[in-house]
Amino acid sequence: MRSHTIGKQFAASALALAISMGAQAVTDEDILNDQASPEDIVSYGMGQQGQRFSPIKDLNADNIQFLQPAWAFSFGSEKMRGQESQPMIKDGVMYVTASYSRVYAIDAKTGEEIWQYDARLPDGIMPCCDVVNRGVALYGDKVYFGTLDAKLVALNKDTGKPVWIKTVADYQAGYAITAAPTVVDGKIITGVSGGEFGIVGKVEAYDAETGDLVWTRPTVEGHMGYTYKDGEQVENGITGGEAGKTWPGDLWKSGGAAPWLGGTYDASTNSLFFGTGNPAPWNSHLRPGDNLFSSSRLAIDPDTGKIKWHFQTTPNDGWDYDGVNELISFDYEDGGKTIQAAATADRNGFFYVLDRTNGDFIRGFPFVDKITWAEGLDKDGRPIYNTEDGRPGNPADTQGEKGETVLAQPSFLGGKNWQPMAYSQDTGLFYVPSNEWSMDIWNEPVSYKKGAAYLGAGFTIKPTNDKYIGVLRAMDPKTGEEVWRYENPAPLWGGVMTTAGNLVFTGTPEGYLKAFDAKTGEELYKFNTGSGVVGTPVTWMMDGEQYVSVASGWGGAVPLWGGEVAKVVKDFNQGGMVWTFKLPKDRVASR
């Protein structure tokens, strides 16, 4: 047995050495040009702006039926929980994370493991929404990822050995990290999770080489941000707004607003775009005011952490609608003028188009079938609240222990949750993985206690249609028109990718990787991976052939929080694999 183990380790080391000899360091230029470089994927979002658009045309609507499995890799062990990762590929090596804060390096040609890293998680971690991880960052000769006990880890990309490990926050207070870090100019930038525990959200930047803290930016108004030099805090802090201005009393001290999904970056404005989560607690009657910077999109200076502008989608959020969804930069023409825009599909059911240079509201419109909590948006993009029965009641107004229950749509799991949408530079459309569900929600008395759930609300989620919950939508950001839709029986919880081959890819909880015609929505391809797909597909070129990869493994928030919806998915099998497909060379039309 020992000799077998030694032999296996030697083979893996030899494979790693052979591959690393041809591997190059990931540079700032590589990351900046990622969307236009089909051989590699070195940024979360297949480009820093997060468009998830590939320029590769070999695989297209005419030959998609010839896409075939090349290999499948098992994450192994009993840790079969939600697999929400986006794979990265550099010089023939795939880097992918798995549940419980694991990282794998895989030979992208053969599917053989090169190395594996398992974070040593302590007892008592408190992830609200499954033990997921959404991916790594690549830079220089290192692989970076966050852990469920709120650490940032740098690994040698050839061996998987830790280079440095930094504690970002206290997991015992409810902090965690589930998102892929962002890389800008030698800095590794991460947000944190934990809004359901009354933490204080923050975005932080670390030196890629040393792991030293460069700046910290809390995302609750009243908390100061700072820059650091040689490990020392710079005297002049970056103001975080006036304490108590949009928060009553001391509630800003446990205000939530966790930027738990990670960010995108726009080089044209030198801005990081992060979304922030719900204010804490959920019971909005305890915190009258806008509660900045919760449920917002923030433009952050990557050099200092300063907030350049903010746009709040749900002021005084009383439904856990967050505002964390990705903000995707794109340009469009209007009256002969190029508009530098950014778009986001919010959990609250509205789609927003902003001026990414200053955060000004351009337009907004519903992207779900029904919204009950608001009647629309005003000229500045603020919601026009339904004042009759839109907000759950105040417990102080009743004799019982909870306030009046209301039926709210969308549910708090959102018109769109974490699962990233995609933007096609060819069609000019956004492809939005959305869901149609509602909730009964009520407020309850609550007080803050470190490390304890800090909700002050109860809820029951239920489907709003008999035949479908998930809807993949093609949305026109200039008109608000829904161009086409695909309805899925179970909720859609995986990300979307689109390509210059007129294709849109996503996965379903039923286990399918699916491809659609980007212009018409016609379903062109499906393959059952054996477990629900809640990861995000990617595509790249290797040895003259186009490949597609996606993680498979059912889990995430739906089976944990879904109420009546969870009954729809209760028999779905958990799993833990990454599937890779390719289009054979002889099926490609002449270039």
Q: Which residues are known catalytic residues?
A: 320
**Beta-carbon contacts of residue 483 (< 8 Å; ≥ 6 apart):** 429, 474, 475, 476, 521
Residue that the structure tokens 């033990």 belong to: 131
Q: Is the bond preceding 410 in cis, omega lying within 30 degrees of 0?
A: yes
Instruction: Give the count of beta carbons closer than 10 Å to the beta carbon of residue 361.
Output: 16
Residue that the structure tokens 């053989």 belong to: 112
Residue that the structure tokens 């045309």 belong to: 57
Nearest alpha carbon to residue 303 among 268, 271, 261: 271
Residue 558: phi, psi to the nearest 5? -60, -50
- Between the CA of residue 502 and those of 11, 37, 420, 524, 581, what are the distances in Å? 41, 18, 19, 11, 18
Q: Any bridge partners for residue 257, and if so which?
A: none
Residue that the structure tokens 């959020």 belong to: 317
Q: Evaluate whether 426 touches 500 at the Cβ level (below 8 Å).
A: yes
Handedness of CA 305, 307, 310, 313 (dihedral sign): positive
What is the per-residue DSSP string for 35-102? GG-TT-B-STTSSTT---EE---SS-TTTGGG-EEEEEEE--SS---------EEETTEEEEEETTTE
Q: Evaluate whether 509 touches 532 at the Cβ level (below 8 Å).
A: yes
**Beta-carbon contacts of residue 546 (< 8 Å; ≥ 6 apart):** 56, 58, 59, 539, 540, 582, 583, 588
Q: Evaluate whether 552 touches 80 at the Cβ level (below 8 Å).
A: no
Identity (one letter) of the amino acid at 158?
Answer: D
